[in-house]
Structure 1
Amino acid sequence: MKKVFLVDDEIAIRQGIGNSIDWESQGFIYCGDASDGEVALPLIEKHQPDIVITDIKMPFMDGLELSQILRKKMPNIKIIILSGHDEFEYAREAIRIQVTEYCLKPVSSLDLLKILIKVSLKIDNEVMDKKRIDDLESKIKETKTESKDKFLYELCQGVYNTSEAIREATKFNIDLFSSYYSVMIIECTIESNQIDWIEDEFNCLRFSRKLKENIYILKGESKEQLEHATNILRERLHTHEDFNPDNALVFGIGRVEDRIQGITSSFSEADEEKNYSSIIHKYHSKETMSDIESKKELHHFNRRDLIDFLKFGSSKDIVSFSRSYSSYLQESKMHSPFTIYHFLMDFTITITHYLKETELNSLEMMQQISQIEVKASWIRHYNDTLSYMEEMLYLVTTTKESTNSKYSSFVQMAMEYIHDNYTDSQLSLQTISTAVNVSASYLSHIFSQETGITLIEYLTNIRIEKAKELLKTTKNKTYEIAEQVGYSDSQYFCKTFKKVSGMTTKQFKNFGRLQTV
């Protein structure tokens, strides 16, 4: 129902209009009246009417002056002016201040009701139009957000090269430039606004991959500064977990990288650590409250270090790594038997999950792990903790080293996949690692370790060598050759070709002709 307010200096008119219409049956509420604009203003602000009917000529403040004020302060109010003066100047001024209706006195109650119904329909139409516009804007905004999130996720997946990433970021008005990057993934059961402080306090790009999973591309001006920021985040997120055990946060943070292309590796590491954390969390969810209290001491180590050692460490480094990884247990005088037990269980579960991921979990291996694990509940001293860790790590590293050729086969498989698919402009570290069934971070590291160059450098070299062959043997244009070797951007191809070969494509063509003469 629409609320109507009347302003007229003649009491007989006010009473006549107020009593001549059955307001509620016609869909209106008569919410009040006043003798002039000055008296009317505070009452209008109080009652918030949808429609104001006002006379033009009144003492103190006339109807036009009142209408001007209402138009500025309450622009949604519809104004109907009643005038006993058939003068052009009044009508022109009423049009100028966008009065909804202008009619001459005397006006019958039936005519006034017709005008009110007309104005009421106009209000309804405006509300519907506004709702449609709001819905459309909301859908556009939602679509833009989805597209932006899709781009950032694809960036983390390694879909774009550097120039493509910058170009796409510009489309979405995303500030992608930074000296250093690190990716953090948080999977949580709490409302997302409870971690809004991350965006407020840290320089980052935030997006969602799926329900209750937030991904942050953290940015920093120096490696030290960004590593310090990730340490602070790790500590604060663990603190939240300690004090809110029912609203758990499972998260992972990747290493700091100095290039846009490094975002993929950092994302892979963060996702991997988050998956390990999820396994640990499921185990800890079965704890008693007394166990949870002791678990608060378990955030002095970074599980990422253990994962990296399992992947890349050797048996000769077991002793030094064990001491480094568990050093807080030796330094702390407050730890309880529960603390040691939980530390060793965290350690053991991480190893078990790693073995399953790398398909080293043979029946014999898992039986040996179980035999060592039995000792965990009886350990009370730091030296026994070290012995447990060393025994477990020795078992893993010796098994890994005895099957070392498997890791070389990953690299060989990656090389073969690149040779077969280098023409695909979407080829990336992520797609290659998926094809060879190993994590992107692991493939990146092992590839560099065995070949001396990064996987992306290897892919680039293959493409440029193929481009050289095409430049020598065909008359294809540069942009056509770029597409044939997997570059969707011919300018980026030319820049890369010169960087790798030391010549422009034109210079290389001319050089090739001279050699054949």
Structure 2
Amino acid sequence: MYKVMIVDDEPLFRDYLRLKMDWQSHGFEVCCEARDGLEALLEAEKHQPHLALIDINMPFMDGIELAGKLKDRFGRIVIVFVSGHNEFEYLQKAVRTGVQDYLLKPFNAEEMLDMLGRVRPKLPRLSREQETAGQAKEGGSAAASGQSSQAGQAGQAPAELSSIRDAIVLGLRMKDADILDEVRKAVRQLRGSRWGDEYADAMMMGLLSLVLTFAGERGFSFSRVWDSGEDKAPYDRLKACASWEEAEEWLIALYRRVIQLTEDVKPTKASSLFAAAISYIGQHYADAELSAEQVASGVYVDSSYLRRIFRKESGYSIVDHITHIRMKKARILLLEGNRRLADISESVGYADPNYFSKSFKKRFGVTPTEYEQLVKK
């Protein structure tokens, strides 16, 4: 089992990285976390991670400096930068410090898996003892899962269900599109219990409380969240369900309603301008001349003002997003196969195929041709 260290000064994002995917099913485990570079060095000495996911911008010691120190002390550690910044200066420094890959915020589980696939060949070969230890841990987790009903009697949620609930909270706050799948997963973890079981009932009430608390934090009135046609309070309505199937669909409908309310919140002037800029970039990314100035002109505002708004709303620059979109589109075209590199380059806004190849390698760690070969294997 490969050990992963997460380094980010934002607790919410550390949680997001840890909970976004099932690390163990892909042969990884999160062994430690750190808030800054100084703490990361101490944790690395203690846990000896194979892979470090590092935010570039942190207090006390930035990601660039931390990467250099980790490479000096742990020569074979694989380093991936995770950041909202994609400036060329950062990337040049990253290459010099031996960083293997780069994840640009925001990203999804698929992009994380792609990253793991790219860096896996660079990870050191595990000893038989290390592999066995990972398998034993998985076996222990499975055994603990089999005792979930007993743990419930003692008032403790199974670790897996607890992590799913954490993911639901994060998903609500970060407007994650996978949130409804997480709710279904949580309910289905409980289906081994009899409907009406005291423990399962408490867990379901907990899931209901999560979404109602979130709605309250967002200032949604009870009448907006709760269908006026309902003749029971939320907790009574859940208890009135006759089966797991009915309870799951009712709870999903409630989550969907709250998510819709979140999306329907009256946008501010800044968020509307940001959305317009995102839309404009999505329509014009293939234009080789696309720039921050052109985007600003396209949404009828001053470029300096749009830059400030874009950075405030997203945490990254207009140019970052243009590059991010172009690279994602290029990867899709490469996966389709049977396209000349020059055609793909032109399709995503690069007049020079050589410059496109260099940009692609900086973003993904391999050239477009190498990426195609990796995919075909």
Q: What is the TM-score when the length of structure 1 is the normalising length?
A: 0.29
Instruction: Say which one has the larger Rg.
Output: 1
Q: Greater relative contact order (Cα 8 A, min sep 6): structure 1 or 2?
A: 2
Q: What is the TM-score when the length of structure 2 is the normalising length?
A: 0.37
